């Protein structure tokens, strides 16, 4: 646990950083492959549309535990097939869970349905209470899907507007939307590949993913916005700031996903193994896949895409160029940040005392390895300003603990430089 915590800290201050944004080609390719597989599954295998989309009558028989076996399935299939009703001449009968048997036929009239119900009840030896029947017209699923599509359209428009309004940035809307479609395609693809039935409950699940995927994206974007809010002061490129944001929210993302996936996993388990069929199973699979995809896409797709879009802006470009200049200048004098030794220098500086030093944490000396020029002396993380605090001008820098700006003296080597 402590390692994980340490990692959280390192991710936070940027000492351990996964380059999510920089390696976007890799993530894009991975997603492209997954989406290609999903689409291929969709194209060649097709969705296993449930009875709601094709029309028909479905019976579910609740059997005593253990009785929902192949033997009884055969018995019921024979009885139904020989019932003399044309539409029921080739029924689909299978077990679902270990206490249910499911019988599906083509659409029946009411009288036929009642007749068949009688047949099934007698064959299975169950009471009327143990039998469920669903007669569904072929248009029903279509209607549910149509309404869902309409809802989807409205939702997308609203959410694009909302993200735009909240972040003041339409590019984030774009990033969110792309991530959204990414998730939905993957989820639908999983349905095609797994052969799970697509029912109105599945449609519900897919629609819920929309909300969840965006929820996750919004949380990450919020951090991105916070980090890129004052790039001039933090002297980071947009890309660095965004990447740091992802790293900083990574622990949250992982925790959130675990916490959200645990209950959905329980739903899925109960749906598959206890109930065997029905709304819970269809819903839970869609949610499970969609939530996982939503987590992935908000980190690997949405944010890199936003960075890509933002980097085209002249303002951001100029800022990045400044940051790089600053960076290079620092690298030219890489000991600039190391305090000169004085007699009364403490062993290590108090964190938060306002001293702008690269005091090592944990007593480790800053590793300045001449053989390895790439990482310069770790850039000092600018203290974050609490909300409502005014970012300080250059001469003084804010200190979170003092709650107001403190004057401070720069190291000699830095005096006069900017």
Interacting positions 257-276 with another protein (CB under 8 A): 258-267, 269-271, 274-275
Nearest to 190 by CA among 179, 182, 180, 200: 182
Question: In whole angstroms, how close is the CB of 77 to another protein at the nearest point?
Answer: 20
What whole-number distance in Å separates Cα of residue 135 and Cα of residue 108? Answer: 8
Taking CB under 8 A as the binding criterion, the range among 9-17, 40-48, 301-309, 407-415 that sits at the site for another protein is 9-17
Q: Which of 68, 79, 88, 284 binds another protein (CB under 8 A)?
A: 284
Q: Which of 18, 74, 82, 147 binds another protein (CB under 8 A)?
A: 147
Question: In whole angstroms, how close is the CB of 377 to another protein at the nearest point?
Answer: 20
User: Would you say 41 or 180 has its CB closer to another protein?
Assistant: 180
Q: Is there a contact between 334 and 376 (Cβ–Cβ < 8 Å)?
A: yes
Question: In whole angstroms, how close is the CB of 303 to another protein at the nearest point?
Answer: 15
Which residues, numbered 104-133, are part of the site for another protein (CB under 8 A)?
110, 113-114, 117, 127-133
Give the DSSP letter of residue 20.
T
What whole-number distance in Å separates Cα of residue 205 and Cα of residue 202? Answer: 5
Tell me, residue by residue from 155 to 194, as one string, x for binding to another protein by CB under 8 A and - for no binding: x--xx--xx--x----------------------------
- Which residues in 79-107 are b (16+ Cβ under 10 Å) and which e? bbeebebebbeebebebbbebbbbbbbbb
Residue 60 binding another protein, by CB under 8 A: yes
Angular region, 4: left φ>0, alpha ψ -120 to 50, beta rest: alpha
What whole-number distance in Å separates Cα of residue 92 and Cα of residue 100? Answer: 14
User: Would you say 100 or 237 has its CB closer to another protein?
Assistant: 100
Residue 66 binding another protein, by CB under 8 A: no
Question: In whole angstroms, how close is the CB of 16 to another protein at the nearest point?
Answer: 10
What whole-number distance in Å separates Cα of residue 287 and Cα of residue 209? Answer: 6
Taking CB under 8 A as the binding criterion, the range among 41-49, 84-92, 210-218, 326-334 that sits at the site for another protein is 210-218
User: Would you say 311 or 389 has its CB closer to another protein?
Assistant: 389
Which residues, numbered 10-39, are part of the site for another protein (CB under 8 A)?
10, 12-13
What whole-number distance in Å separates Cα of residue 300 and Cα of residue 304? Answer: 6
Taking CB under 8 A as the binding criterion, the range among 187-195, 215-223, 338-346, 371-379 that sits at the site for another protein is 215-223
What whole-number distance in Å separates Cα of residue 12 and Cα of residue 246? Answer: 9
* Token pair recorded at residue 112: 């036929």
Question: In whole angstroms, how close is the CB of 292 to another protein at the nearest point?
Answer: 12
Nearest to 38 by CA among 193, 252, 205: 193
DSSP letters, 89-113, are: SS-EEEEETTTEEEEEES---HHHH
DSSP letters, 268-287, are: HHIIIIII-SSHHHHHHHHH
User: Would you say 23 or 121 has its CB closer to another protein?
Assistant: 121
User: Would you say 84 or 352 has its CB closer to another protein?
Assistant: 352
Residue 362 binding another protein, by CB under 8 A: yes
Residue 410 binding another protein, by CB under 8 A: no
Q: Which of 144, 190, 292, 299 binds another protein (CB under 8 A)?
A: 144
């Amino acid at each position: 646990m402590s390692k994980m915590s340490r990692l959280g800290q390192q991710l936070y201050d940027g000492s351990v950083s996964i380059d999510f944004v920089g390696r976007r080609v890799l993530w894009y390719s991975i997603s492209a492959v997954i989406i290609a597989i999903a689409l291929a599954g969709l194209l060649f295998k097709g969705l296993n549309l449930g009875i709601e989309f094709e029309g028909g009558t479905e019976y579910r028989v609740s059997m005593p535990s253990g009785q929902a076996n192949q033997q009884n399935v055969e018995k019921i299939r024979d009885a139904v097939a020989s019932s003399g009703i044309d539409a029921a001449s080739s029924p689909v009968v299978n077990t679902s869970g270990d206490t249910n048997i499911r019988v599906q036929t083509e659409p029946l009239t009411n009288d036929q349905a009642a007749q068949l119900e009688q047949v099934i009840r007698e064959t299975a030896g169950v009471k009327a209470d143990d039998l469920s029947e669903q007669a569904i017209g072929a248009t029903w699923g279509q209607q549910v899907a149509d309404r869902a599509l309409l809802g989807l359209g409205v939702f997308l428009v609203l959410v694009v507007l909302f993200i735009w309004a909240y972040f003041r940035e339409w590019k984030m809307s774009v990033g969110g939307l792309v991530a959204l479609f990414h998730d939905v395609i993957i989820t639908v693809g999983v349905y095609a590949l797994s052969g799970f039935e697509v029912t109105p409950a599945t449609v519900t699940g897919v629609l819920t993913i929309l909300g969840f995927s965006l929820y996750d994206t919004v949380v990450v974007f919020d951090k991105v916005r916070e980090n890129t809010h004052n790039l001039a002061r933090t002297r980071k490129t947009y890309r660095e700031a965004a990447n740091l944001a992802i790293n900083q929210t990574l622990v949250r993302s992982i925790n959130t996903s675990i916490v959200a996936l645990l209950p959905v996993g329980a739903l899925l388990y109960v749906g598959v193994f206890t109930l065997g069929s029905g709304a819970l199973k269809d819903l839970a699979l869609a949610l499970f896949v969609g939530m996982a995809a939503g987590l992935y896409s908000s980190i690997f797709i949405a944010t890199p895409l936003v960075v890509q879009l933002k980097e085209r802006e002249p303002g951001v470009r100029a800022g990045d160029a400044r940051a790089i200049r600053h960076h290079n200048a620092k690298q030219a004098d890489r000991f600039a940040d190391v305090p000169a030794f004085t007699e009364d220098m403490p062993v290590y500086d108090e964190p938060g005392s306002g001293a702008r030093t690269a005091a090592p944490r944990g007593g480790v000396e800053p590793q300045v390895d001449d053989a390895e020029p790439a990482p310069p002396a770790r850039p000092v993380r600018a203290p974050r300003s609490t909300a409502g605090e005014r970012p300080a001008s250059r001469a003084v820098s804010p200190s979170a603990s003092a709650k107001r700006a403190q004057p401070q003296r720069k190291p000699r080597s830095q005096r006069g430089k900017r």
